Structure 1
Amino acid sequence: MKLTTRNKQFKFLKKHLEKKRDQLREEFEEKQSEAAKWVATRGLKVADLAQKGAKTVSAGIAAGTLLLSVGSATDRGIEPASETRKLSEGDYLASVKSNKDLQPLIKEGLAGRLPTSVRPLNESEEKGITNLLTEILNYKVTAELDGNRLNRNYGYIGGEQHLARYPGETLQAHFNTIEEAKLFGASGIAGRPGAFGYFAYGSNSLTNKEVKMEKYYVAVQTFASPGWGTKSGLVDWYKFRKVLVINPRTGQGVVATIADSGPAAWTGKSFGGSPEVMHYLGLGEGARKGDVLLFFIDDKNDKISYGAI
């Protein structure tokens, strides 16, 4: 990761945390006015207490870690001072970038950027949202790639069945574990390949990557995309194209692949998602439908893994 990218991410995260700190301080002063007044009579500020408290907690954690470590620094033949170092921006980002940390960043980052109704995004909205997601996730998220774009990037998604990964595959052979079968088996299997064909020639040639591709597949309305039917090579370009799907209501997201075409326009839905995609978007129960954002991922070297972000 380039240093400039780390700096951008660190600044974004720093701004987000400072905003959250200010909101919490305002809530405290509003709800605990008497306590805030008492703090003020001691010549202190709520922000000062938060800073002092953070330092105290950090010191306690550091001390506990040293006490629990096996052997002292001197025992290992090194100077104690060399055991401590300041967290770099990259280390800090790595320490907070788990799924639980990304979801609120995405959810709050998208707040105010989406239209009030579910409709196609305009150019300004697309740019603002894709720049935000690119900055948070540290890989390029875009509405247009290689001169190609979908008919829309914001719309309703509905749950789909599993796809047959190879000729003759049955639902019984589809899952690796009993837990997966219990969780996703009720959705059934289409018994056919998606619009772009099977993922493998047979069960013996099925790779782990192909298993993940079917597990995290989406259907998009290729038939309504610009240039479809007139621009050569689009079928091959869309085949197993990597995309990012985001539930803007929760911040949950999935890296998926385009493996089918649909749904039909009359359904009122713009996208379809595998049972696993719907599950990890938080849309796996009830109506199995919700509004999502869907964009291309520029991953020519195939470095971004499929699955929940």
Structure 2
Amino acid sequence: MQRKTKTSLDTSLLYSKLKYKHLLSEQALSSKHKEAVKFLEERGVKPGKIREHARKLLASGALAGTLLLSSPQLSTLPNLSGKQAVVTTAEVNQSLASKLSLILPNLTAGRQGKIEKLTPEQETEISHLLFTAFGINAVPQLGSTKLNHIYGLIGAEQHLPRFPGDSIGQHDEHQDLGITPGLGAWGYFAPSKDKLTEDLKQKEKYYVAVQTLYLPDWVSRFKYLRDWYKYRKVAVVNPVNGKTIVAVVADSGPAFWTGKHFGGSPEVMAYLGLNVGMQKGPVVLYFVDDPENSVPLGPLEYNLAKNASLLAKK
């Protein structure tokens, strides 16, 4: 008589699948009903907020079983569940880079500056990969707001003045790269040195520049978009080595004629491994959907959805 084997429910995989379906639904809503989404956003209502409902779905064993049986097996990054040994950050980065090489169009050409647009399917796959690897909700579009490029070339930027009288000698690292003579697109981070909080220091340390001026609705929605993009949290991924960092939008640029699509602070470029040679390279830049401000700025070397200690530094 054969003994029946007891199957266990992989809740991590289930949660990942639910988030994947959520991303698809939210993108479909934004693409098919742009005016409705724009109307809600400008009145402080965020469409597609279904996290509370997702938690209820996770508690339902019957529905969970149905989802697992009806969905194809997803290819994932290293299983980071607590049942397995701790994996190193290097292993996660390597796996992420390997997966991205199968998704991104002609990565070799991208390293040479020939960037192709991503399809909606590719965009969603990348969101799923980032959630699986790090537990963050990184998306190419938030509501009706999307950059012209989410896969493109990033170039090195200098430090930004944080307050009146700021100088390069008052910055902690990479002082050799200098400080910009002018202000960032949103001015000083603080009105004076004594008002510069640790949070604002981190925002200047980990900042990116994006091409807001070239957005098709920048003029018509200037007041809304100016405030929306200020310190907007993003995840920046180097697809070549898989290194990922969380930053904020704190400047506008670079100019179209440079051939680059984003700019990165000295600290951002150093972590991504793009502060050598021509100091530029291809990256994926996604918005981080973080209404509770639970994702800290800086290198992603943890999995927020599971446990921050699951990733061990190399």
TM-score of the superposed pair, with normalisation by structure 1? 0.68
Instruction: Tell me the distance in 2 between the aligned counterparts of 1:221 and 1:120.
Output: 16
SS of the residue 2:128 aligns to: helix
Q: What are the residue-to-residue correspondences of 1:36-47 with 2, within 5 Å?
A: none
Q: 1:235 to 1:94 in 2, by over 3 A?
A: farther
| Unmatched segments (≥5 aa) in structure 2 | 1-9, 18-67, 110-114, 301-314
SS of the residue 1:303 aligns to: coil
Q: 1:17 to 1:170 in 2, by over 3 A?
A: closer
Within the candidate set 208, 212, 215, 1:225 is matched to: 215
Contact 2:100 2:126 in 1 (8 A): yes
Superimposed CA distance per residue, residues 39-64 of structure 1 (whole angstroms, 9 cap, x where no aligned partner) = xxxxxxxxxxxxxxxxxxxxxxxxxx
Report runs of 4+ in structure 1 exceeding 3 Å deviation: 3-18
Number of aligned positions between the proteins: 229
Partner residue in 1 for 2:251: 260
Contact 1:9 1:136 in 2 (8 A): no
User: More displaced, 160-169 or 185-194?
Assistant: 185-194
| Unmatched segments (≥5 aa) in structure 1 | 19-88
Contact 1:107 1:251 in 2 (8 A): yes
Instruction: Tell me the distance in 2 between the aligned counterparts of 1:205 and 1:93.
Output: 45
Contact 1:170 1:191 in 2 (8 A): no
Contact 2:211 2:253 in 1 (8 A): yes
SS of the residue 2:199 aligns to: helix
User: More displaced, 198-207 or 249-258?
Assistant: 198-207
Q: What are the residue-to-residue correspondences of 1:126-275 with 2, within 5 Å?
A: 126-175=123-172, 180=173, 184-231=174-221, 232-275=223-266
Please state which structure has a larger fraction of its residues in helix: 1
Instruction: Tell me the distance in 2 between the aligned counterparts of 1:288 and 1:185.
Output: 16
Contact 1:168 1:191 in 2 (8 A): no
1:4 maps to 2:4: no
Structure 2 counterpart of 1:122, one-letter code: T
Instruction: Tell me the distance in 1 between the aligned counterparts of 2:166 and 2:77.
Output: 47
Partner residue in 2 for 1:27: none
Partner residue in 2 for 1:53: none
Partner residue in 2 for 1:102: 92
Q: What are the residue-to-residue correspondences of 1:7-26 with 2, within 5 Å?
A: 16=77
SS of the residue 2:82 aligns to: helix
Q: What are the residue-to-residue correspondences of 1:105-124 with 2, within 5 Å?
A: 105-116=95-106, 117=109, 118-124=115-121
1:6 to partner: Cα distance:
6.1
Highest RCO, 1 vs 2 (Cα 8 Å, sep ≥ 6):
2
1:278 maps to 2:269: yes
Contact 1:5 1:138 in 2 (8 A): no
1:190 to partner: Cα distance:
0.7
User: More displaced, 272-281 or 229-238?
Assistant: 229-238
TM-score of the superposed pair, with normalisation by structure 2? 0.67
Contact 1:104 1:251 in 2 (8 A): yes
Max Rg structure: 1
SS of the residue 1:192 aligns to: coil
Contact 1:6 1:90 in 2 (8 A): no
Partner residue in 2 for 1:299: 290
Structure 1 counterpart of 2:282, one-letter code: D
Superimposed CA distance per residue, residues 55-93 of structure 1 (whole angstroms, 9 cap, x where no aligned partner) = xxxxxxxxxxxxxxxxxxxxxxxxxxxxxxxxxx74246
Q: 1:197 to 1:138 in 2, by over 3 A?
A: same
User: More displaced, 231-240 or 191-200?
Assistant: 191-200
Contact 1:169 1:191 in 2 (8 A): no
Q: 1:168 to 1:6 in 2, by over 3 A?
A: farther
Percent sequence identity over aligned pairs: 41
Q: 1:186 to 1:113 in 2, by over 3 A?
A: same
Partner residue in 2 for 1:21: none
